Amino acid sequence: MSDNPTKLLIVAGARPNFMKVAPLIHALERHNGARTSQRPPLDRQLTYRLIHTGQHFDEKMSDIFFRELDIPFPDLNLEVGSGSHAAQTANIMLRFEPVCERERPDWVVVVGDVNSTMACTLVAAKMGIRVAHIEAGLRSFDRTMPEETNRIVTDSLADLLLTPSEDASENLRREGIPDGKIRLVGNIMIDSLVTHLDKASERGTLEKLGLKDKGYIYVTLHRPSNVDAKDSLQRIVQELSATARRWPVVFPVHPRTRNRLAEFDLSFTNGNGSGLNLMEPLGYLDSLELTRHARCVLTDSGGLQEESTYFRTPCLTLRPNTERPVTVTIGSNRLTSVSRLRPDLENALQGPERLGQTPPLWDGRTAERIVQTLLEA
């Protein structure tokens, strides 16, 4: 066995990746004794380089998360930007390959299910570099979602599949992935949430927005299936405009959604008395605070389904399926559609203010378990 530290290349590319790499980076620094003088022997150290693919690039979609999550700025930004799926994936691959050649890592660590996750996995696998996938095994069983392709490709190539929940491990076994590659480690998003709760509650987000605890609906929508077709987006706009006449609605608008609203020339009827507050995308801390205190969350984001479950805030997910079934079976999440939105919202607003339970291993210690698993691997 060599005396050298194990070298990791950690990949992040899009907004939901940053809160997944942050706890890992902090756990690696604790393990390596960066904040004490007690360093493990060289062959037990895990060094890392953080690579940002640049899939997301706006200050509000990227930089703000590095500051709020207290993670170092990336060692390298590949600056790929937007494009079609093929163009974006290919550009990431072209720019990541020389990085792997130069760095020769022992592991490439990828998180989640975005195009950056799949692209970097493909590059590493072809170069014979081991891949660890954090948040492996999630399946919506809906191949129309681009993320489902990313999940299937990534998991079929990865060497270490770090799952957030038992259903995810079970999905992998069913696909024939050997048990030896699968480790149930828990939900790393919740590590970030637990760490940043106090900081989030110090921000005074509700006061700044003039909201009352449990007195508003927090909305985020950006999935292509909801916003890329005019009909669907138009109906969403109508429903939200109607809802906002009765309940304050806070809606930070994702760039994809903003672009589609402009392209389809759609606007909210945001007249007098309307409680609709449309705004730029929010940072991590404000979003946590809004989720925690909302009367109800309406979303199509994976992360918000999980954060709502942790806070036990009733959540309606505007999708026909979810790759995170524990948020429904154990947590506070319910699926809805545009045609059922009005009665489902009504029920949620009349129902209990807190719902469901916290799933197992959503305990803030997932990153520690991942570090131990990498040391053993």
| Interface with ligand UD1 (CB under 6 A) | 14-16, 55-58, 61-62, 82, 113-115, 146-147, 222, 254-256, 259
Q: How far is the CB of 50 from ligand UD1 (least distance, A)?
A: 18
222 tagged catalytic: yes
Q: How far is the CB of 62 from ligand UD1 (least distance, A)?
A: 6
Q: How far is the CB of 132 from ligand UD1 (least distance, A)?
A: 19
CB contact burial 145-181 (16+ within 10 A = b; e otherwise): bbbbbbbbbbbebbbbbbbbbebbbebbeeeebeeeb
- Residue 84 or 272 with smaller CB distance to ligand UD1: 84
The radius of gyration of the chain from alpha carbons, rounded to an integer in Å, stands at 21
- CA–CA dist 20, 150 (Å, integer): 17
Q: How far is the CB of 221 from ligand UD1 (least distance, A)?
A: 11
Q: Calculate the alpha carbon distances from 96 to 13, 57, 130, 250, 321 in Å.
A: 12, 17, 15, 38, 33
Q: How far is the CB of 276 from ligand UD1 (least distance, A)?
A: 21
- Residue 5 or 16 with smaller CB distance to ligand UD1: 16
The encoded tokens of residue 372 equal 């131990």
Of 31, 52, 133, 222, catalytic: 222
HSE (CB half, 13 Å, CA atoms) of 362? 20
Q: Which of 156, 170, 73, 62 is nearest to 118 (CA)?
A: 156
Say if strands 296-299 and 217-220 run parallel, antiparallel, or are unpaired. parallel
Angle at which helix 302-311 crosses helix 284-293, to 10 degrees, equals 50
Q: Which of 132, 103, 135 is nearest to 20 (CA)?
A: 135
- Residue 139 or 295 with smaller CB distance to ligand UD1: 139
Contact between 53 and 11 under an 8 Å Cβ cutoff? The reply is yes
Length of the chain: 377
Among all residues, which ones are annotated catalytic? 222
